[in-house]
Amino acid sequence: MSYEVRYSDSAKGRGLFSKTKLLCDTTILEEDPLVSCQFQWNAAYQYLACDHCLRPLETAQENATRLTGKMVELPHPECCCTDKSRFSSCPSCGLQYCSTECREEAYNQYHRILCTQTTDKNSSHPLEQLNEAWKQLHYPPETSTIFLVVRLLARILQAPNREAAIAQTLQFCHHTVNEDADLAHKLLGEKFAGQLSLLHNLLVAAVPHEGIEQFLTFEGFQSLLALIGTNGQGLGTSAISQWVKNTGTLPISQEERENLDSFVDNLYIQMDSNVGEFLNNEGVALYALQSACNHSCSPNAEPRFEHNNHRLSLVATRDIEEGEEIFISYLDECILGRSRHSRRKELVSNYLFECHCSKCEAEADEPDVTSEEDDDAEESMEDSS
């Protein structure tokens, strides 16, 4: 193995370290999540994905047609990866999976307990009530889902070794009660923080209690929300982007390539004008190894989803020396590009730590500019240009 998890002095906790020299673009590791889940609104708006691994259930052509809002005829249909002959659905509740393997894995890991065993959406089912309540509190763009908590709990209940499953879950929880409360409020947003007990009551009504009582108290519930807020990794899959990627390797002439490129450019313009940023099947997942990876504002690795499902690839984004710590960024591109002060403010409020990464240390003498002032600075630059 090219990596190990051990104590990190800089993070005062676990960290992921390279055990060999790794070249840029090397896949350091690949892992399936403990649990993953599509976002509620994403699913409600017919972004069809496997209920277990989020692999697209539309063909690239269907995907392009839905996202542009008009009939699209895609050339090179052989570049589409969606294989409908492999699809499988839960015989009791009808949930759709990309394969028998996914259906069985879901059933054996968490779905046996969560299967609502009804083909028509029964709105009085506690899980359906929880779904509706969450959707009302969490409009797009979505960043998390309470169903990751639900699956995590069901996974513990179904685990052959419950003690081990609980210990594995607790590994992710390392905040105090007050910190958990802050993070849970943050996850819901200030406006909805008062709805925490509503969600808690619905969750308690939706899952069996025996063996997971510690997670079903109000404090236990807050710590699970804090867990998914600080460890949840966003993920996206797309039939159309997979198709585009595959067309890149077609043995075609220069002229055909240029035609194809302009077709794709035009397709993305049409999709953008119809659905904006909402192109992908989107969800969130919890990974054992990736979550051991600490943050840096100047990361040397990034998570990617190269299999077009929830399997995560951690890829080196520059050469990494033997023994060096592997860092990813917890901030999105946009915030990562901002001032030291803005980055650190974001990390403190969402992850409760003061960043001492190499970039933040190197910029320690910079004045503390807030993100609002960053925005103003950008605006005045645009005005003057």
CB of 63 to Zn ion, least distance (A): 16
Q: Does 224 bind Zn ion (CB under 5 A)?
A: no
Q: Does 49 bind Zn ion (CB under 5 A)?
A: no
CB of 53 to Zn ion, least distance (A): 3
Q: Does 90 bind Zn ion (CB under 5 A)?
A: yes
Q: Does 355 bind Zn ion (CB under 5 A)?
A: yes
Using CB under 5 A, which of 92, 96, 195, 270 touches Zn ion? 92
Q: Which of residues 261-300 bind Zn ion (CB under 5 A)?
A: 297
Q: Using the minimum distance from each CB to Zn ion, give the nearer residue, 53 or 326.
A: 53
Residue type, 216: L
Q: Does 260 bind Zn ion (CB under 5 A)?
A: no
Q: Does 187 bind Zn ion (CB under 5 A)?
A: no
Q: Does 357 bind Zn ion (CB under 5 A)?
A: yes
Using CB under 5 A, which of 34, 53, 187, 240 touches Zn ion? 53
Q: Which of residues 95-114 bind Zn ion (CB under 5 A)?
A: 98, 102
Q: Using the minimum distance from each CB to Zn ion, give the nearer residue, 64 or 355.
A: 355
Contacts of 66 (CB under 8 A, 6+ apart): 46, 58
Q: Does 360 bind Zn ion (CB under 5 A)?
A: yes
CB of 115 to Zn ion, least distance (A): 3
Which residue stretch of 18-26, 202-210, 347-355, 366-374 sits at the interface with Zn ion (rule: CB under 5 A)?
347-355
Which residue stretch of 50-58, 239-247, 275-283, 371-379 sits at the interface with Zn ion (rule: CB under 5 A)?
50-58
Q: Does 240 bind Zn ion (CB under 5 A)?
A: no
Q: Does 55 bind Zn ion (CB under 5 A)?
A: yes
Q: Using the minimum distance from each CB to Zn ion, give the nearer residue, 50 or 181.
A: 50
Q: Which of residues 297-316 bind Zn ion (CB under 5 A)?
A: 297
3 state SS for the chain:
CCEEEEEECCCCEEEEEECCCECCCCEEEEECCCEEEECHHHHHCCCCECCCCCCECCCHHHHHHHHHCCCCCCCCHHHCCCCHHHCEECCCCCCEECCHHHHHHHHHHHHHHHCCCCCCCCCCCHHHHHHHHHHHHCCCCCCCCHHHHHHHHHHHHHCCCHHHHHHHHHCCCCCCHHHHHHHHHHHHCHHHHHHHHHHHHHHHHHCCCCCCHHHHCHHHHHHHHHHHHHHCEEEEECHHHHHHHHHCCCCCCHHHHHHHHHHHHHHHHHHHHHHCCCCCEEEEEECCCHHHCEECCCCCEEEECCCCCCCEEEEECCCECCCCEEEECCCCHHHHCCCHHHHHHHHHHHHCCCCCCHHHHHCCCCCCCCHHHHHHHHHHHHHHC
Report angle CA 55, 144, 299 to the nearest 5 degrees.
Answer: 85
Q: Does 93 bind Zn ion (CB under 5 A)?
A: yes
Q: Does 328 bind Zn ion (CB under 5 A)?
A: no
CB of 26 to Zn ion, least distance (A): 24
CB of 308 to Zn ion, least distance (A): 10
Q: Which residues bind Zn ion (CB under 5 A)?
A: 50, 52-53, 55, 90, 92-93, 98, 102, 115, 297, 355, 357, 360
